[in-house]
Amino acid sequence: MAQERTSMRKIKEVLRLHFEAQISQAKISSVVKLSRSTVQQYIMRFMAAGLSWPTELRDDELERRLFPVDKGENNRPEPDYLYLSQEIRKPDATLSVLWEEYKEQHPHGYQYSYFCDLFNAYRQKLNYSMRQEHKAGEKTFIDFGDSPLKIIDLRTGIERSTKIFVSVWGASNYLFAKSCLDEKLPTWIKLNINALEYFGCCPRAMVPDNLRSAVSKASRYEPDINPTYAEFAEHYGTVIFPARPYRPKDKSKAENGVKLAKRWILFRLRNQTFYSLAELNAAILVLLTEFNQRMMKKFQRSRKELFELLDKPHALQLPDSHYEFAEWKKAKVQFNYHISYEGHHYSVPYTFIHREVDIKATPNLIEIYCNGNRICSHAKNSKPHGYTTVTEHMPKSHQKYLEWTPDRILHYAGKYGKSVQDFVQQVMATRKFPEQAYKSCLGIIRLENKYSAERLNLACLRALEYRAYSYKSVVNILQKGLDKQTTLTSVKTVVINHENIRGSNYYSEGAQ
């Protein structure tokens, strides 16, 4: 019956072919791709209704005349659609079981197939984001959105743009929203933690969009999750399922959450002035609480009520400790058995020279891993171009294990002149370990490729006179052409005689 009521165009085509074209029912069946018995039924219903062709009736009126509702059927109790839409979201729920419960309460109710038709027809009336069957406690959908609100710096008066972060549950549509200044990885992780703390539980899966902080490499089939975000998920026991690229249905919940946050929260704050992010988020939190407690007409319950009923009882519990932010990066161990992170150099055991390692950086600690095994760690040091070296990481015999040694570098530098050799020796002497200066020394020697051995030798001589033992000092001398000056420019002292200026005699013994 449900199929007949949704195919009036095809029914009218059957009637046209029969009454106007006057072709056989077998031929009509072939043309409209319906069984011959179905074609015959439509024609008989039309004639039994006392109608004549062509008809001026609208489709809905023609449908009512061809398929009159059985009045006895109207006495059957309707299913509780709100209840069904809530129960079907619970884990392991099926319409078959829900129908059996319905029949136990209403023995003369609808049969299973028509029960399903009625429920599916109800679901079609809901918004797309609402009619997706997300299981309770299963997923949250996460995204950033542009915000019209700005923050004014009290010191400078400059306005700063903001973003809005949202996380919304699939089953209950319960929403978390918070303002931020950027979409960088530390911000992303912090906001995800804030969302879980607001919910008081963790979903079994999280569905972010393909932003860089969440997905290192987007792919429809095998996306690469950002290592930090993957570690975050492992800490909370959840799973990351990035939305597929160019699949808007995958992130409709998050995008709808951003729209709702803009309409119901940010729009109401448009006429207020904010001077800090904390002040803005305090105002957002008040409106967010009101929004989650608003009654949803489609469900006759608030998001907060549905969250407490559906998602929270079936979600994961939060761990006892908070996740500590850690950034992961790859690096290659240099020939001086150090790796570089944010401009500072950290030593590793010399046996890992030229191998690729993973760096895990927390606010206070640098940990270095190779093939998943931690090989060493250091206290974090933010001194630019500095070295943190552990003596135990150094080889016992440089000639046996290293490509470069102090003697070899001095011999190499001597090919370009005595001043180059002397300068390189001074550079190594300024470091606690000579290996810490290897990169600088080789960089100085290789400047010969851009300039010449003669100019490099003169530049090193000049740097020795200045006692400026660094790679940058030699580069500056060459760039400014100071190597062409053979001696330091003498500074002449100009003596000014004036009645208001005290001379050197003023401070001599006995001066009045």
pLDDT, tens digit, for every residue of 103-152?
Answer: 888 887 888 888 888 888 777 766 544 445 678 888 999 999 999 999 99
pLDDT at position 499 is: 52
- pLDDT for 123: 73
What integer pLDDT is reported at residue 7 of this predicted model? 62
**What residue type is assigned to position 349 of the chain?**
P
Kindly report the number of other CB atoms within 10 A of residue 260's CB atom: 18
How many angstroms separate the CA atoms of 458 and 329, rounded? 40
Residue 104's Cβ-side half-sphere holds a number of Cα atoms within 13 Å equal to: 6
Q: Is 159:280 a contact under the CB 8 Å cutoff?
A: no
When pLDDT is averaged across residues 386-402 and rounded to a whole number, the result is 69
What are the residues facing 357 on neighbouring strands? 331
Most confident of 187-191, 319-323, 411-415, 488-492: 187-191
Entry field: residues in the chain: 512
Confidence band of 100 (pLDDT split at 50, 70, 90): confident
Residue 169, pLDDT score:
92
CA max distance for the chain: 140
Q: Are 143 and 166 in contact (CB under 8 A)?
A: yes
Does residue 426 register a pLDDT over 50?
A: yes
Q: Which amino acid is at 329?
A: K
pTM for the complete prediction?
Answer: 0.54
pLDDT (tens digit per residue) in 241-283: 887 554 555 567 888 889 999 989 999 998 899 999 999 999 9
pLDDT band at residue 398 using 50, 70 and 90 as cut-offs: very low
Spatial CA neighbour of 137 closest among 86, 233, 205, 196: 205
Q: Are 308 and 316 in contact (CB under 8 A)?
A: no
Task: Among 21-30, 161-170, 253-262, 476-485, name the one with the lowest average pLDDT.
Answer: 476-485
In the chain, count H helices and then E strands.
21, 16
Question: Residue 401: its pLDDT value, please?
Answer: 40
Q: What is the mean pLDDT of residues 146-174?
A: 91
**327 pLDDT band (50/70/90 cuts)?**
confident
Q: Give the C-alpha separation, 385 to 373, whole Å.
A: 27
d(CA 361, CA 368): 9
Q: What is the share, in percent, of the chain residues with pLDDT greater than 90?
A: 25
**Mean pLDDT value across the chain:** 81
Q: State the pLDDT at residue 308.
A: 93
The answer to whether the CB of 236 falls within 8 A of the CB of 319 is yes
Summarize the confidence of residues 398-418 as an average pLDDT: 70
Return d(Cα 133, Cα 90) in angstroms, integer.
9
| Predicted confidence (pLDDT) per residue in 10-69, tens digit | 888 888 889 888 888 888 888 888 888 888 888 888 888 888 888 888 877 888 788 776
In this structure, of 8-17, 29-38, 68-77, 164-173, the range with the lowest mean pLDDT score is: 68-77
Structural domains in the chain, CATH included, are 2-66 (1.10.10), 73-125 (no CATH), 139-314 (3.30.420.10), 327-397 (no CATH), 404-484 (no CATH)
H helix or E strand, kind and range, residue 463 = helix 453-466
